[in-house]
Chains A and B, each alone.
Chain A
Amino acid sequence: MTSKNIKNEMLLEAKGLYKTYTQTSGFFVRRQKTIKALNNVSLSIKKGETLAIVGESGSGKSTLARCLLQLLSLDEGELFFKGKNLTTLKVEDKKHLKRHIQMVFQDPYASLNPRMKIGEILEEGLLIHGLGDKISRDKKIRDMIKKVGLEVADLTKYPHQFSGGQRQRIGIARALIVEPELVICDEPVSALDVSIQAQILLLLKELQKEFHLSYLFISHDLRVVRHMADRIVVMHQGKIVEQGSTKIIYEKPQANYTRELLNAIPGKHFKFKVS
């Protein structure tokens, strides 16, 4: 297969996704309200590309991520991963496919088990999916920890011994060790300082090149998205208001809401240029 073909190969396709939550309010008089978290959402991710989902809180972007990972069940809609329908697949086959979709979480403090050593955290995924024997697992873990910029000696440490940026590196290593094809990054840098943020963004880009990864990059920060994404999906109140290539969304936004978002970027006119 030539590299051109790889770029065009469809990895994940979502068609007409719906998800509603019901909210109960009131103490003496119960009122029920339904919230459409996903309202007819369709999108697709090609191999090797970064698709960003942007939107404000309550736009449904995290619900979408959880539905794509099948951590939440859909009300309606179809999910295809490499041409196979995930919504109708048997549990056993699904488990095999799900290895290829991994997630990097927002909060590096809450997403690592504090009682497990880093080596154990990385090995867990390999054990669950039955990948390799003890020797090959150990080698894989040692290679991966170096890939994300940490040291082999760190494998015997616990999560609390690391800073936020280092923990995010561990989270990335955990996602990548089972050799996924699609990584869903839910606000991976929003809890980090700006200098650490730059390191993690660059690391994600390097790893993408090396492993031909596709990213679904969820973010509310339109400056970060501009640096990461090939294509952008703009969500508002559960609906997709606009999608297109990064260049077109930023330079010729069609929807009013997109324009509003772009206008709200702090310091948007300023060109940071340091000689």
Chain B
Amino acid sequence: MKKILEVKHLKVSPINEPRKVLVNDVSFDLYPGRTTCIVGESGSGKSLTALSIMKLLSSQLKQTGDIYFEGKNISQLSNVEMRSFRGKSMAMIFQEPMTSLNPVISIGDQIKEALNVHLDLDKKHLNKKVVSLLKEVGIPDDRISSYPDELSGGQRQRIMIAMSIACEPSILIADEPTTALDVTVQAQILKLLSNLKEKRQMAMLFITHDFGVVEEIADDVIVMYQGQIVEKGTVKEVLKKPKHAYTKALLQCVPDAKGIKKLKPIQHRAFV
């Protein structure tokens, strides 16, 4: 299968403390139509990895290593050059839909804004496109002039998804998109995301701390611990036959819905 994105030896450290490595030698590939989950605890570097791909890291952090998009090295591109990639080739959705949406602009206008950055559409086509996007994410089109505060958390996340897929990116990066949502809404959003991925043959990079979500949505899994990849493989390999001691220990901490497993907390000293 053809790779759409290749991350090679990605490293992130603070500019002031170059010795402190937050993401250490991370390499992986993304494929069209496949979902790769990065799973790890807080501080494992999973969000930094995602932000480095979009080159959205804070100015206090420095990234090194190579990132290839469709064979082209994008790691050396300037901020201005990156703008033509963000949104169009790869898009991102975040954990808190309310903080990512502008509260004083109607949702229809916000989606139009996303379209206008990359596509040159006239007014009629623009409106048509917004309506079809809303339909695709399951929002009735009479909500087009609603404001974010009139929507529920799940609906807001659907709007974020509509904005992110507006310019038909080939990679969708989702950073804990369902963590702030209720469990029934989470199930709906996960289903929507995997349907969209399938239909549009996007590569999805999905960041989560929840092994239940991993089981639900992933094709491939990357387990991160203290900035490093400790294990990667297909979802079956990693969840059923974990190799690394940390993965095994982490899986033993996850309560299951059947309630048969005995929880066993991690002794963190064992992996450092």
User: Which positions in A face B, CB cutoff 8 Å?
Assistant: 56-57, 193-199, 201-202, 220-224, 226-227, 246, 250, 260-274
Contacts and interface: CB of A to CB of B under 8 A. Distances in A.
Contact of A268 (B239, B257, B264): B257
A261 B183 contact: yes
A202 B263 contact: yes
Given A194-B41, A198-B264, A265-B183, A226 B211 contact: no
Interface residues of B, number: 39
B259 interface: yes
Contacts of B258: 226, 271
B183 A194 contact: no
Contacts of A223: 212, 254-257
B237 interface: no
B135 interface: no
Interface string B157-189: 000000000000000000000000011111100
Given A226-B258, A272-B239, A272-B251, A194 B211 contact: yes
Interface string B231-267: 0000000010010000011111111111111011110
B213 interface: yes
A57 B214 CA distance: 23
Given A193-B41, A202-B265, A264-B183, 8 more contacts: A194-B41, A226-B258, A265-B257, A267-B210, A270-B215, A270-B239, A271-B256, A272-B256
| Dominant SS among interface residues on chain A | helix
B264 A57 contact: no
B181 to A, nearest CB: 9
B186 A272 contact: no
Interface string B185-226: 111001000000000000000000111111110000000000
B268 A226 contact: no
B146 interface: no
B259 A220 contact: no
Nearest to B242: A274
A265 B210 CA distance: 11
18 contacts: A56-B183, A57-B182, A193-B42, A194-B41, A202-B263, A222-B183, A227-B263, A265-B212, A266-B186, A266-B187, A266-B216, A267-B214, A267-B215, A270-B212, A270-B256, A272-B239, A272-B256, A274-B251
A195 B250 contact: yes
B251 A56 contact: no
Contacts of A273: 261
